[in-house]
Amino acid sequence: MVTLNINQKNYQVDADPDMPLLWAIRDLVGLTGTKYGCGVAQCGACVVHLNGEAVRSCVTKVKRAVGQKVVTIEGLSKNNDHPLQLAWQQIDVPQCGYCHSGQLMSAAELLREKPDPTDQDIDDAMAGNICRCGTYLRIRKAIHLAADMQRNGVKKA
């Protein structure tokens, strides 16, 4: 048994220390917002925050996360109201939606470090996240909008 701290809650899970964090989060803890897309850190669907960094849980072993703070998409905000989530909703970014947990977690890390990102910053932060539906232009637009919301407060649509 190991203890994982996810979204500020401790979970006792019976996980092989070498099990990817992704499967522990999904199958053992039951938080399914974090997605499997490739298993080899290519697509970004599984991005979670590990001590604030946007790690790919499909290649991060459980033993790296033990004793650390993990935040998943379910913990990005309490009420689905992180500026990025609001911007995503305002712009209707997702199509199928499968990749967007990862997109949002990557974008959140970008905004944490660079509250006013340029298009280049967005490319530098987000090119690790694949969206097969091709919503990239909306992702870009929504990140700018979220940055604006962070600076100037949320404007209702």
Partner 1 sequence: MVVKENHLSRRKFLKYTGGAGICLWLGLSSEGLLAKTKDIGTAKNFSPFILVESNGSITIFNSKPEMGQGTFQAIPAIMAEEFEVSLDKVNIKLTDGESKFGRQSAGGSSSIRSNYDSFRKVGAAAKAVFITAAANKWRVDESTCYAENAKVFHKPTNKSFTYGELVEDASKLEMPKEPKLKDPKDFKILGKMAKRPDVPLKTNGKAQFGIDITVPGMRYSTVERCPVIGGTLKSFDATEALKVPGVEKVMEVEKIMGKYHSTGVAVIAQTYWAAMQGRKKLKIEWDNKGFETFNSADYENHLRELAKEEGIIDKNIGSVDTLTIAPENSIEAFYETPMVAHSPLEVMNCIAQVQGDKLEIWTSTQVPSSITSGGATFGFANENITLHTTFVGGGFGRRLYIDYIIEAVNIAKQFDKPVKLIWTREDTTDCGPYRPMTFSQLKGGFSDDGKLIALQHKVIAPSLRQSGSDKYDAAKVDGSMVEGIGEQAYEIPNIKTSYVRADFHVPLAAWRSVTSSTLSFAHECFIDELAYKAKKDPMEFRLSMLTKDSDLKRVLLKLKEFSNWDKALLNGKGRGVAQWEFFAGLGAHVVEVTYNKDKSIRVDKVYAVIDLGKVVNPDNVKNQVEGAIVMALGAATKPGITLENGKVMQHNFYDNTMVRINEMPEIEVLVLTDGGKMKGVGEPGLPPFAPALANAIFAATGKRIRKMPFDISNV
Partner 2 sequence: MTKHSERRFQIFPLKTIGTVAVFLLAIALMTSGFKEEKKVNVTPAAGFDAAKDSTASVDAFMQVYKVLMSPRCMNCHPSGDRPLQGNDSHIHTMNVQRGKEGKGLYALKCTNCHQPENAETNHAPPGNPKWQLPPANMKMVFQGRSAHDLALQIMDYNRNGHKNKAMLLEHARDTIVKAGWHMGEGRPAPPLAYNEFVKVWDTWINNGGYAPEK
Query: Which residues are at the interface with partner 1 (CB under 8 A)?
Result: 16, 19-20, 23, 26-28, 30-40, 42-43, 45, 72-74, 76-77, 80, 84-85, 88-89, 92-101, 104, 122-124, 126-140
Sequence-distant (≥ 6) Cβ neighbours of residue 64 within 8 angstroms: 21, 50
For residues 127 and 140, is the Cβ–Cβ distance under 8 A? no
For residues 62 and 15, is the Cβ–Cβ distance under 8 A? yes
Question: Cα(34)–Cα(25) distance, rounded to whole angstroms?
Answer: 8
For the window 125-144, what string marks contact with partner 2 as x by the rule CB under 8 A? xxxxx---------------
* Rounded least distance, CB 62 to partner 2, Å: 12
**Positions of E strands within the chain:** 2-6, 9-13, 47-50, 53-56, 69-71
* Rounded least distance, CB 140 to partner 1, Å: 7
In this structure, the dihedral spanned by the alpha carbons of residues 77, 69, 11 and 34, taken in order and rounded to 10 degrees, is 50
* Rounded least distance, CB 51 to partner 1, Å: 20
| Residue 29 binds: one of partner 1, partner 2, none (C-beta under 5 to 8 A by kind) | none
| Residue 45 binds: one of partner 1, partner 2, none (C-beta under 5 to 8 A by kind) | partner 1
Cβ burial 60-86 (10 Å sphere, 16+ → b, else e): bbbeebbebebbbbbbbeeeeebbbbb
Query: In the complex with partner 2, which residue's Cβ is closer, 16 or 155?
Result: 16
Query: In the complex with partner 2, which residue's Cβ is closer, 12 or 118?
Result: 118
* Rounded least distance, CB 122 to partner 2, Å: 9
Q: How is residue 136 written in tokens?
A: 């990239």
Query: Which chain residues interact with partner 2 by CB under 8 A?
Result: 18, 39-41, 44, 47, 53-56, 59-61, 64, 105-107, 109-110, 113-114, 121, 123-129
